[in-house]
Amino acid sequence: MKTAKLILDGKEYELPIVVGSEGEVGIDIRGLRSATRAVTLDSGFANSGSCSSEITFIDGEKGILRYRGYPIEQIAENATFTEVAYLLIYGSRPGADELAEFNRKLTYHSLIHEDMKNFFSGFPATAHPMAILSAMVASLSSYYPRSAIDNNELNIIRLLSKARTIAAFSYKKSIGQPFMYPSNELSYTENFLHMMFSVPAEPYRISPVMERALNLLLILHADHEQNCSTSTVRMVGSSEANIFASISAGINALWGPLHGGANQKVIEMLTRIRDDGGNYEKYVDLAKDKDSDFRLMGFGHRVYKNFDPRAKILKAAADEVLEEMGKNDPLLDIAKNLERIALEDDYFVERRLYPNVDFYSGILYRAMGIPTNMFTVMFALGRLPGWIAHWREMRLDPDGRIYRPRQIYTGSTRRDW
């Protein structure tokens, strides 16, 4: 067995090495503190593996993303979102019958309890839909309180299905239109578009281009291993908090502009550049200026240091979808020009900053008629299967423990009151 050696205060310690199925090497420090009284310090956890996981593989250097071993490019080309959800959560591709049954359950659990509709009227019309989504998802636990693992299969279905209804209702609330109930005739993604855009007087005509684009966006967001929100879900779930509470915490973590909130910020940035006469250089310079707090939103990634494979797929899709729909979005041209200029600039090249998934996703959401403040909600709907898969994997892990990091205390030493 390979080991790593640590010398601390002249004393040598041997630490086991763990190797993942793609050859990733980890130094196992689980026995470190009890052996040495020392801990490791890794702010932002950039060098720490918090768990072993079989769900998603990323190689940021090579721009690789795979769900359960399948390359994202192949999945994006061939799968539907619910198929991907099944794959992520249960570990293998569903057979035709399994998928039909999974879809059937998602269809039949799409309504929210009528009483929950009253909650919506308590929020101000200006409420951010992420605030509503996280509060409503946490509230689901008051309707389905059992958190025993045997009951969770049904709660998983409820969560996947009802979060979509809640998201659409929060949009309807924000524009003062009546809620549209889900229809059992429609697929998962069609149903979402229907609940968002139909009005009682006129059902929304769902274009296949739109439905395909939505499927693609949700699939590309479906999992990304131990990112901030997924780690939050695992962290909260590790205390054995119920699935709704755990996922609601993940939704809140996603909301921040350095994570899922970035897609909204990208469109705001592109709009600002457009309104300022389209002067890209000025904004590239601003992003490089350490005295300004401006960053190129949708650029850079903690893990991808080559390119984000999802951004590549979405850039191509944005072109296709806009063309098929006969739409022209000046923000797409601004985004492409900004990308070109930034990628030629030493600052971005040296720091290996590339467009991430959020850089082009907003353009697609705009083309679909989804308002900017719903973008992060869309990300959350896409990420649900990933969060659920990680929550489930963690809860089923016989070696699972409550998350409880250590710290290096740097405050005052003892002093008298």
Binding stretches for ligand COA (CB under 6 A): 258, 262, 287, 295-302, 351, 353, 356-358
Q: Is residue 301 among the annotated active site residues?
A: yes
Find the Cα–Cα–Cα–Cα dihedral 255, 256, 259, 260, rounded to 10°. 30
Q: Quote the least distance from Cβ 105 to ligand COA, whole Å.
A: 31
H or E segment at 163?
A: helix 152-175
Question: Whole-number minimum distance, CB 41 to ligand COA, in Å?
Answer: 16
Cβ distance to ligand COA smaller for residue 119 or 294: 294
Contact 356, 366 (CB under 8 A): no
Torsion sign across C-alpha atoms 254, 256, 259, 261:
positive
Q: How far apart are CA 298 and CA 317, in angstroms?
A: 17
From the CB of 285, what's the least distance to ligand COA, in Å?
A: 11
Answer yes or no: 113 catalytic: no
Q: How far is the CB of 76 from ligand COA (least distance, A)?
A: 17
* Residue 105 or 288 having the CB closest to ligand COA: 288
CB atoms within 10 A of CB 172: 18
**Contact 231/249 with Cβ under 8 angstroms?**
no
* Residue among 258 and 316 whose Cβ is closer to ligand COA: 258
Minimum CB–partner distance for residue 222 and ligand COA (Å): 14
Question: For residues 211 and 339, which CB has a smaller minimum distance to ligand COA in the complex?
Answer: 339
Tokens found for residue 38: 């020392």
Q: Are 184 and 49 in contact (CB under 8 A)?
A: no
Question: 66 - beta bridge partners?
Answer: 57, 71
- What CA–CA distance (Å, rounded) separates 127 from 123? 6
Specify the residue, 89 or 353, whose C-beta has the smaller distance to ligand COA. Answer: 353
Q: Among residues 76 and 353, whose Cβ is nearest to ligand COA?
A: 353
Catalytically annotated residue among 301, 329, 345, 346: 301
* Shortest distance, position 66 Cβ to ligand COA, whole Å: 18
23: buried, middle or exposed (CB in 10 Å: 19+, 13-18, 0-12)?
exposed
**Any long-range contacts for 94-102 (C-beta under 8 Å, 24+ apart)?**
102/157
Identify the DSSP state of 195: H
Set 358, 390, 397, 399: catalytic member: 358
Backbone angles phi, psi at 159, to 5 degrees: -60, -50
Whole-number Å distance between alpha carbons of 390 and 394: 6
Number of Cβ within 10 Å of residue 331's Cβ equals: 18
Q: Could you give the residue numbers annotated as active site?
A: 301, 358
